[in-house]
């Protein structure tokens, strides 16, 4: 081998070692800044959500936060050996609250959207829901899908700032839209005959139909949108994201996910515990 070629190869190898060492050092520093390390040091997992999204996060008669997400939050805290700290937060400010370190993670039935994903990162989806229709009974047999509601004569309701509102504007733009502060208010408007249909996530529409809507509404339970729900964290934290994805995978593999799904999504015994 020629001396010049040998020297060149040695130089390349040395540079490679320097760059790999630098990258490794950078990774270590990034790991030290991870939310995971902050949680472990603090001894608390602070979970952001807004109570009232049935059946994911609710408040029972004793004032305890319960629901699909709450069960996962408590198990996650236990798996980390820390205390579970629920942080009930208004939905319209929940992303800014995450970004300003009011809590560590959003576990609040948040739909992955591209707009949100520009601000925050999402773990793998833990459930897929979509928008459905809770229809006032006077339209039974006449309105068969969301397409039949695309007319100014129909008053549609949903919660402001949600994917339900977005679905109306995108898929049923000609209808008359009436937004509300909560999904419960929007649903009661339909049940009481003051509006024609509620557009909202399948789990909530199903709950409202079963608890207050029977005989007064018709539940069109076939979703017309694709909406994956996922836990959300701040950007720039690959270690926390890795932990969450593996936690979800483990929960599905060891039977915990199925147990929680059957309890909150399929079952209804929990309804007696609500206020």
pLDDT tens digits, 238-275: 999 999 999 999 999 999 999 999 899 878 889 888 86
Instruction: Say yes or no: 46 and 108 in one domain.
Output: yes
Instruction: Say yes or no: 78 and 191 in one domain.
Output: no
Instruction: Say yes or no: 208 and 89 in one domain.
Output: no
Instruction: Say yes or no: 219 and 241 in one domain.
Output: no
Which residues does residue 180 pair with via DSSP β-bridges, in sequence order? Answer: 159
User: Using CA atoms in the order 146, 150, 156, 158, what is the torsion angle rounded to 10 degrees?
Assistant: 60
pLDDT digit string, tens, across residues 2-35: 444 444 444 444 445 444 444 445 577 777 789 9
pLDDT number for residue 16? 52
Omega prior to 167 cis, within 30 of 0:
no
Q: Compute the distance between CA of residue 46 and CA of residue 64 in angstroms, rounded to an integer.
A: 15
Residue 20 lies in a domain: no
Instruction: Say yes or no: 92 and 137 in one domain.
Output: no
Structural domain span for residue 191: 131-225
**Phi and psi at residue 138, to the nearest 5°:** -65, -15
Residue 6 lies in a domain: no
Query: What average pLDDT score do residues 40-61 get?
Result: 96
CATH number of residue 104's parent domain = 3.40.190.10
Residue 220 lies in a domain: yes
Contacts of 215 (CB under 8 A, 6+ apart): 137
pTM: 0.75
Q: Residue 54 — left, alpha, or beta (φ > 0 → left; ψ -120 to 50 → alpha)?
A: beta
Residue listed under structure tokens 């890795």 = 242
Query: What average pLDDT score do residues 100-104 get?
Result: 98
């Amino acid at each position: 081998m020629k001396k010049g070629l040998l020297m060149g190869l040695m130089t390349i190898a040395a540079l490679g070692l320097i760059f790999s060492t630098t990258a490794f050092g950078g990774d270590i520093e990034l790991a030290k800044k991870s939310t995971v390390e902050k949680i472990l040091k603090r001894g608390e997992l602070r979970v952001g959500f807004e109570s009232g999204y049935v059946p994911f996060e609710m408040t029972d008669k004793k004032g305890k936060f319960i629901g699909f997400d709450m069960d996962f939050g408590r198990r996650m805290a236990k798996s980390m050996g820390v205390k579970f700290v629920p942080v009930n937060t208004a939905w319209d400010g929940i992303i800014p609250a995450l970004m300003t370190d009011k809590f560590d993670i959003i576990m609040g039935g948040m739909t992955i959207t591209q707009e949100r994903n520009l601000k925050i990162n999402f773990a793998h989806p833990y459930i897929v829901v979509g928008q459905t229709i809770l229809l006032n009974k006077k339209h039974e047999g006449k309105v068969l899908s969301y397409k039949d509601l695309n007319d100014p004569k129909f008053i549609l309701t949903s919660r402001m700032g949600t994917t339900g509102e977005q679905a109306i504007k995108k898929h049923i733009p000609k209808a008359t839209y009436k937004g509300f502060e909560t999904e419960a208010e929007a649903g009661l408007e339909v049940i009481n005959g003051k509006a024609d249909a509620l557009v909202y996530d399948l789990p909530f529409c199903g709950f409202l139909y079963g608890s207050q809507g029977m005989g007064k509404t018709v539940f069109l339970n076939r979703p017309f949108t694709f909406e994956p729900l996922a836990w959300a964290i701040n950007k720039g934290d690959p270690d926390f994201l890795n932990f969450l994805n593996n936690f979800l995978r483990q929960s599905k593999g060891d039977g915990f996910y199925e147990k929680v799904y059957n309890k909150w999504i399929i079952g209804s015994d929990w309804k007696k515990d609500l206020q």
